[in-house]
Amino acid sequence: MTAPKDHTTCDAFLDGRVHIRQPKNGYRAATDPVFLAASIPAKAGESVLELGCGVGVVLFCLGARIPGLSLTGLELQSAYANLARRNAQENDINAQVVSGNLMEMPSELRAQSFDHVIFNPPFYDNAKVSAPKDTGKSQAHVMVLSIENWIDAALKRLKPKGRLSFIHRTEILPQALGCLADVAGDITVKPLTSRQDQAAKRVIISCRKGTKGPSVLLPPLVVHKGSAHSRDAGAYSDIAQSILRDGKSLPPNELP
């Protein structure tokens, strides 16, 4: 009898401290979720909810870096939610993964509030890109809900003074900051740039619900060494290497 095919790969993150099964042909996590996980200033005993957790890369990189967190993920696509549950078990990380839509939050989540809510949402405007043929990959890449939808859903699940953190394209900054202006404070923006002196294409935005602290533009995280990609100049910067390989957080003086 022929064994059923496994349409996943098992990929190492944090230099093998975390192993993640993800679809061979669907959405596949790269560096963005690892950088987001490294930016979360959580402490043991705190609760974390990730909206749209996919197969769990952000949650489980965060859980590997900071033991003792209460981790919960919400995922719309059942196949990805099932993989996230499998990944939690195989990495021996205690996490709850709930299937559901953030616009119609499952009752078990509506009854809870969290110290941290995080998300790494679909980035691309469906009017400007061709959607991938794979349904799972398309839903992970192409925006259906607005950034306002994501922020509103996240804030509803935060405790007072809880922290919201997310990664997105730099183009989303005006809308995101407009949404947060009257409902959150201590807003920080961390640009991520591929190389020194290049424009940042990603930002990590963090804020605290219901506070009035000032907004801060942080120094950029430069991901690669050298001024251009080549065989000899494609290496990660020292800081990026420490995050991606060694499981370090962003340097303490740069944390939101």
Distance of CA 20 to the CA centre of its chain: 15
Tokens 């709930």 belong to 98
Q: How far is CA 139 from CA 30, 131, 144, 193, 216, in A?
A: 16, 9, 8, 25, 32
Count of C-beta atoms within a 10 Å radius of residue 94: 12
Average pLDDT, the chain: 88
What is the pTM for the complete model shown? 0.87
Can you give the residue ranges of every domain in the chain? 8-248
- Domain 8-248 part of CATH 3.40.50.150: yes
What type of residue is 22?
Q
pLDDT tens digits for range 34-50:
999 999 999 999 999 99
C-alpha closest to that of 159 among 112, 113, 111, 218: 113
Is the pLDDT reported for residue 163 higher than 50?
Answer: yes
Q: What is the DSSP letter of 248?
A: P
